[in-house]
Chain A
Amino acid sequence: MTGITVWPVGVVVAQVTLFVLGAPFLVGLMRTVRCRLEGRTGPPVRQTWRDLRKLLGKQRTQPEKSSVFFAMAPVVLVATTLVVVAFAPLLSIDTVFSGGSDLFAIVFLLLLGSVSLALAALDTGTAFGGMGSSRLMAIVALAEPALLVAILALAAPVHSSSLPIIVAGSLHHPMWLATPQRILAFGAFVIVILAESGRLPVDNPATHLELTMIHEALMLEYSGPDLAFVVLGESLRLLVLLALLSNLFVPWGIATSLTGLSFVVAVVSLAAKVALLATLVAAGEVMVAKLRLFRVPELLAGAFVLSVLAVLSSLVIA
């Protein structure tokens, strides 16, 4: 941590500010896309921000028999995601804080957020909390192998799991992007991201029907500012995952030096890439129905097979 210059700190501050401000817009954008494709007008894109502002002004409530785990889960959820946002190479690969931007470390940091939310749901002592918690942990347990093996496929060519090195590797070797292992790993990543962020076909973010929901059941007891933090945390998480996905597979535009111009280019290109990905995900959600809960393991097993094939093909080709 010695030798921190002003610029890298500036990058950290910029990443955190832009991502926190942008995350609710991402959710708004996806909702608008869905509404338009379904032939409805829908709320404006900035509606999520309006909702958050309203929620932040309310009183905090806490279930009678719950403990500090319920109270702290929204904080932990947002804080873990913010650590990832601050130190992952989202806008620039030239970062001094490489000790904090390891891809495996990011996975475990995000897992900490999920686990704290699952514990908070059990802390409420209701049937819904337990249901959401149990389902979330089952999905996390099964998504983990696919995720880590897919990371292995990306890390193997550069012999490192450090995110800046992986991204720099694909910048220097554009041919890697079209190799079979990249495409297979991409597939695995997309499935895992959909599962982890509770999108269709794993979970329907628009539903409020108790028996089918996962994420909604987890945060059923939250209201007011706590709910705002959970919503912010979840949307931030989706934004980070999509940004990581686009940087890992289509890294062009990311700043390699810390000049003002390259930084602006990085912000604009990342925003464009994430908006495109989000639009595709939202459009896809219009087309598919939610899977039965007990079919989800099959989907995740499919993702796992894709990632194992990605590792094997990367080694066969090398």
Chain B
Amino acid sequence: MTTWLAAIALFGLAGALGGTMAPARWRVIVVSAGTGAAAISALVVSIDVLHTGRVVSIATSRLLPFTGVQLHLDPMGALFVAITAAVAVAVSVYIVGYSNHHPMTRSSACAFPIFVTSMLLIPAAWSVTTFLFGWELMAVASLVLVLTDHRRSPDVRSAAIWYAVLTQIGAASIAFALVLLAAKTGGQGFSVMAQHSAAVSPWLRGTVFMLALTGFASKAGVVPLHVWLPKAHAEAPSAVSALMSAAMVNLGIYGIVRVGDTLLGGGPAWWWIAVIVLGVASAIYGSIHAATSTDLKRLLAYSTADNIGLVMIAVGTSGLLTATGHPAYAALALFAGMFHLVNHAVFKGTLFLSAGSVQYATGTRDLDQLGGLFLRMPIASTIFAFGTVAITALPPLCGFVSEWLLLQSLLHGLSSSVTVSVVLMPLCVAALALTGGLTAAAFVKAFGVGFLGIARSLAAADAHEPPRMMNVGAGLLASLCVLFGVVPVVMVGLLNSAVREVQSGAGSTVGSRGEALAIANTRGVFDPTFIALALVTSMLVVLGARQFVSRRHAVRRAPVWGCGRELQTPRMTYTATSFAEPLQRVFDDVLQPSQDLDVSHRGESRYFVESVRFGTRGGDAFERLLYQPVFALVRAVANKARLLQNGSVHRYLAYGLGALVVVLVFAR
């Protein structure tokens, strides 16, 4: 299996080099083949590791100077590799169709395979330098890809800057945490660090965890470090958004689990309470924004913050239950969280890829301009519909199963009878339920307004089915939504293997009894396969009954009721903005939209109104209330710092002398 692990890097490198050098006509084929091959080898090695539980490792001192490269793929890492690989296979197929109208540039052809390969190798990195090398490579490559369309609009450039700054703050924070721990444990290999971390003082361990949590949370898009997410995901090409949202943000969760559980060996309750609180905040905040967004890709990006928040809740609950001595329930929570992560990757990948198809077909991602796409691009719309049902946690698709498991883990967390969890668990359930309801509203809006009804613009009226390869790529992930929802037992063994790696001694948490999921030590049995079968049977019976009663008449197509008007124009229908208005009103305090009402009066009398303009902008409140003040502060400090630099060479020489004296005095 080591060959396959090495093959990931080689195929990726070949894709990047070949893509850079190949003529424009062949570029996308070479990139797709290289990336696809890397992803398939990753899929092979990760499924093998999950299946057999045997670790695959490579160590070489030839690649990075001084430290070498250490790769070591254990089942927990393999789960993340498998998720990324599955998404990457679908995206590799998708980009072939996408490049029909948007030819791949040389820089993206180089960055794309590197981005995917670095994501595939990060979970296998087993030393601080290897990890940070992969992490930075991923950050830089993804930044190049976000900038793909930088000529199109200044928004792309601004999004890239936000992304670069937040990802670098995160990377600095992670580097600091890992270096600190490596220094105290006397080695930069993860095995050494894990062995000696228990001897480190609790304060230092806490500091390391909090720094790592900050860094990984910024990658995962957790509130309040999420601001780059809606910008970068919206402005990047959809294939890149799909990879970022379905694969890259997962690595933030990976980092938290890896540092918290493997390197530090678990920690006190307060670490995990912090994780839960961050999770609750981003779940609720993300879902409120998703429910009120009108830009399709922003909506999806906010929903990523929401789902990652749910996974954080599960990871935090798992850590909390370990800290309070309930390893079996802790394993259940981690299982639920990981299953949700898998499902999120699958349905969010589907949704981003089909949002890309919409943008390809209509040139816009503004829901207020769309409508009626289902009749014009039925295949792409059906794929989006599958994603919608899955993300809304409706039976019989995959979101339903992991949502049920999340609820079960919180229910059992409740019975751990520790005061903290007793107070936290109901709030987590409430957060889960509120996000569930808001997600339903958000996606009824996304699908109902965007794909059903009548077209609201010429672009939507002229929409056409995207190239076949785009539908195939998105359809691959949509079929996984169905598979994991109808037959979730296929995932049980693999997930148990990953969870056992972290929660050793927990045994298998979720067993399979026939096709039903059974939770160890409890009486909960849940049979998604049975529910799916029952649902399909019941629908067939009801459909048959309706066909039977109306067998004598054909269906009549009739105009809709227009209150006596003859004409029904798109301006009379509900838009995404008006659909979200009730929720917008309810969550006014959270959203803080800026509204302006502009009334101009006639010259002769102010009782006669000439025109009224009403505008509302729903920016991100965190951007305005948290980041703008910080920017202002930095700018003020920078302005003051300019006093130090006036361009005079004498002054700089004096600084140099001063610095030298200080060094000589203190360094000795």
Contact = CB atoms under 8 A, between A and B. Distances in A.
Contacts of B560: 63-64, 124-126, 221
B453 interface: yes
B434 A141 contact: yes
Contacts of A187: none
Interface string B504-542: 000000000011100000111111001100110011011
B530 A100 contact: yes
Interface in A135-178: 135, 137-138, 140-145, 147-149, 152, 155-156, 159-162, 165
Interface string A214-237: 000000110011100100000000
Contacts of B408: 104, 161
A79 B542 contact: yes
A41 interface: no
A140 B448 contact: no
Interface stretch (A23-31, A107-115, A197-205, A270-278): A107-115
Interface in B563-584: 563, 568, 572-574, 578-583
Interface in B72-88: none
Given A122-B453, A220-B561, A99 B530 contact: yes
Query: Which secondary structure dominates where chain B touches chain A?
Result: helix
A99 B447 contact: no
Given A60-B555, A297-B586, A111 B440 contact: yes
Contact of B534 (A65, A87, A148): A87
Given A156-B415, A308-B426, A293 B437 contact: no
A98 interface: yes
Given A119-B448, A125-B568, A141 B574 contact: no
A119 B453 CA distance: 9
Contacts of A67: 374-375, 452
B412 interface: yes
Nearest to B423: A312
B562 A105 contact: no
B441 A141 contact: yes
A138 B555 contact: no
Nearest to A85: B538
Contacts of A78: 542
Contacts of A156: 411, 414-415
B558 A61 contact: yes
Contacts of B393: 108
A149 B568 CA distance: 43
Given A69-B452, A140-B437, A111 B573 contact: no
Interface stretch (B110-118, B176-184, B241-249, B545-553): B545-553
A61 B542 CA distance: 18
B642 interface: no
The 6 closest A-B CB pairs, nearest first, are A130-B574, A99-B527, A122-B448, A144-B437, A141-B437, A125-B453
Given A83-B535, A122-B449, 9 more contacts: A1-B514, A105-B404, A115-B394, A126-B572, A129-B574, A137-B445, A155-B411, A160-B524, A229-B542
17 contacts: A56-B550, A61-B556, A67-B452, A109-B531, A122-B453, A125-B371, A125-B560, A125-B573, A127-B574, A130-B573, A137-B444, A141-B440, A144-B434, A144-B437, A152-B414, A226-B546, A308-B427
